[in-house]
Structure 1
Amino acid sequence: MAKLIYNRRRFLGTAAATGAALASPAYLRRAAAQSGGEVNIWTYNNFVPEAFKEQFEAETGIKINIRLVDDQGKQFNLLAAEQPNPTVDIMTVAGHRFLQFIDSELLAPLDTDRLSNWGNINPTFSESDWATINGHKWGAPILSGMEVLSYNTDYVTQEEAMTWQTLFSEEYANQTAYIIQDMMSIVMLMKGYDGNMVAYMDDPDKAAAIVEEAKNFLIEHKPLVRKYYDSGAEFQQMMINQDIVLGHSWNGPAAALINDGFPLGMTIPNEGSYGFVYTYNIANNAPNPDNAYTFLDAILASPEIGAAMTKASGFISTYKGADQYLTELEKKSTSFPEEQLANLQFFRAEANELKYSLVDPAVEAIKAA
């Protein structure tokens, strides 16, 4: 297994280097004369390709300081605690969590006129309804993904993986894992409810009852799960070690294993699932806003960079033409049959205050049960 991980890192480094070298040297040299200092970024693992980071620093004089995050809630709490003088310039917020950050005045509206490469983003992402709030753009879409049911194809069939019920079956007891907060939405969907909770904004009692039902379901099935996990890397390692053969995951970590040659499959089950978009956002009162815009414009510079981000993270690039720089296997690991895509819904933010006020305490109750 060590060889598998090593080969993946070597391959991704080569791919990222190729993407960065092709993508942006001319642009970065234009920025170098007027730049310097640093830019502080909170983001997920592999969202800034290492070769791009090295080139950006060399050609602009701007040092990139990355703090890895693994949870939107933790990032929100940390940013809120630091205001009005945050240490971060750019963070990675999922589109369905925008309102929480915006209403707390933690994000600055994005000035797309300062981004000459904004047009390189597929308008499906950059111009969709969730991307504009209160008349402003709040983030640059970089990667898209979805919650999937991932399975070791040596032990689990695709037919079994077409229903979330298999994740809670006695047959795979203590061979499964999932992120509790994310599974709350999935369980609500399994039971025929709106996991976004938009349908219950005018009926908070109904919303509370639904969350209670989902919470009790997960507590009832707690003896069957091997582990509640937090990060994609943890999910990957459990799969590689065969600690689990079945798990809820984001498609990015699963795709990375598929591209390694690991016998993994993933489905959007019949009961449905949720998709999302990751964006780069500028913090309100960011200490280095000019450097933040320099970084954003550089990383949006070309489809090769988008492809390098997909290769490293496994998530789907939002950049126009990025798929031209992916192998057939990489394309396979970032696509789904039309009949499965029909099961997909996108996370919505309108009811987030209601939803997370109920879900967050429920998650803690499940952990404590």
Structure 2
Amino acid sequence: RLVDDQGKEFNLLAAEKNNPTADICTVAGHRFSQFIDSELIAPLDTSRLKNWSTVNKVYSESDWSVVNGEKWGVPILSGAEVMGYNSEIVSKEEARSWDVMFGEKYKGQTALILQDMMSIVMLYLGYDGNMVAYLDDPAKAKSIVNEARDFLIKHKDKVRKYYDSGAEIQQMLINQDVVVCHAWSGSISKLIMDGFPAEMTIPKEGSYGFIYCYNIANNGPNTDNAYKFLDALLARPEIGANMTKASGYISTFKGSSKYLTDLERRTSSFTEEELAGLEFFRAEANKMKYSLVDPAVELIKAA
């Protein structure tokens, strides 16, 4: 089944938990804990994947990939929360800072994914948007979320739309309803590949990255075939390149970039300076974080 949201995927798997029909699902690394705690995905047995070494160790051996001493998925694509902009209207210098999203110049011509932007605003304000630093100080965590909430309410008049899907922001940029936005990198990368005058950047205040994985559904009907599929996927680096072409996200496969054109490589990579400001989403504080962020998001929408 095709879903466009991790929450919808979780609900589908949970509804079928006692009699699952899925063998493989796609879970972002920072959402692992939710699926693991609900027993919806199984630990990954890498010994059953003879091509496991195809995955770059930056992704296969990272801290986020291990929960409860086990690996839980095959990293396939890497993405980031970026600033996307129309390069014929917004200058590269303006796009160096998230400030441009909250100024008067492009008032009514910005868009963002509200829940994701809460983490970025916390980072922008000088805090840990993952909230791991505040696990032992819930009062501090609540104060920070309230500060981010109030900041976004204060600047709500700058935003044309809080949106949900990549296709939606692509269309708004094409129509020039929006000229600068917060977006997932794949959405903007695909626009650039298609010839639209767009650029994307990780602003100087920083942002967050995420990894999409293929995961084995717990108690799926065809687990042996699921492993065969994953191993076949890892067999050739050009498969990783094809996933980049289709999604706009960066392949985790070693050697995949040589199967991309110069334009495709440019649109699916960042400079060293940009990467220095990129942190990966982490899951340790998610329960506390989203118990605060979710109500804050609703208050911003209602304000």
**Deviation digits for residues 226-277 of structure 1 (CA, Å, limit 9, x no counterpart):** 1111111111111111111111011111111111111111111011101111
Matches within 5 A, 1:188-203: 188-203=122-137
Give, in whole Å, the separation in 1 of the partners of 2:78 and 2:142: 30
8 A contact 1:70–1:230 mirrored in 2: no
**Deviation digits for residues 53-83 of structure 1 (CA, Å, limit 9, x no counterpart):** xxxxxxxxxxxxxx22222233223322332
**Deviation digits for residues 263-316 of structure 1 (CA, Å, limit 9, x no counterpart):** 111111011101111101112122332232222122222110000000111100
Once the two structures are overlaid, the 10-residue window that deviates more, 196-205 or 213-222, is 213-222
Give, in whole Å, the separation in 2 of the partners of 1:280 and 1:332: 25
**Aligned partner of 1:329 among 228, 245, 263:** 263
Q: Which residue of 1 aligns with 2:46?
A: 112
Shift of 1:121: 0.9
Q: Which residue of 2 aligns with 1:292?
A: 226
Q: Which residue of 2 aligns with 1:263?
A: 197
Q: Which residue of 1 aligns with 2:159?
A: 225
Matches within 5 A, 1:23-102: 67-102=1-36
Q: Which runs of 4+ in 1 moved over 6 A?
A: none
Q: Which residue of 2 aligns with 1:171?
A: 105
Once the two structures are overlaid, the 10-residue window that deviates more, 304-313 or 168-177, is 168-177
**Aligned partner of 1:213 among 140, 147, 150:** 147
Which one-letter code corresponds to 1:82 in the other structure? E
Shift of 1:206: 0.9
The Cα RMSD (Å) is 1.3
Give, in whole Å, the separation in 1 of the partners of 2:230 and 2:298: 36
Which one-letter code corresponds to 1:360 in the other structure? D
Give, in whole Å, the separation in 1 of the partners of 2:275 and 2:56: 19
Q: Which residue of 2 aligns with 1:132?
A: 66
8 A contact 1:254–1:266 mirrored in 2: yes
Residue aligned with 1:171, SS = coil
Shift of 1:142: 0.1
Q: Which residue of 2 aligns with 1:272?
A: 206
**Structure 1 pair 152–300 and aligned structure 2 pair: CA distance change class (3 A):** same
Give, in whole Å, the separation in 2 of the partners of 1:195 and 1:212: 13
**Structure 1 pair 163–239 and aligned structure 2 pair: CA distance change class (3 A):** same
Residue aligned with 1:68, SS = coil
> How many residue pairs get matched?
303
Shift of 1:368: 2.6
Q: Which residue of 2 aligns with 1:53?
A: none
Shift of 1:223: 2.1
**Aligned partner of 1:185 among 97, 100, 119:** 119
Residue aligned with 1:170, SS = coil
Give, in whole Å, the separation in 2 of the partners of 1:200 and 1:233: 35
Which one-letter code corresponds to 1:189 in the other structure? L
Shift of 1:99: 1.3
Residue aligned with 1:107, SS = coil
Once the two structures are overlaid, the 10-residue window that deviates more, 197-206 or 99-108, is 99-108
Q: Which residue of 2 aligns with 1:159?
A: 93
Give, in whole Å, the separation in 2 of the partners of 1:85 and 1:348: 30
Residue aligned with 1:278, SS = strand
Q: Which residue of 1 aligns with 2:81?
A: 147
Which one-letter code corresponds to 1:78 in the other structure? L
Structure 2 residues without counterparts, runs of 5 or longer: none
Give, in whole Å, the separation in 2 of the partners of 1:197 and 1:124: 23
Give, in whole Å, the separation in 2 of the partners of 1:84 and 1:213: 42
**Deviation digits for residues 77-102 of structure 1 (CA, Å, limit 9, x no counterpart):** 33223322233221111111111211
**Structure 1 pair 101–205 and aligned structure 2 pair: CA distance change class (3 A):** same
Shift of 1:199: 0.3
8 A contact 1:109–1:138 mirrored in 2: yes
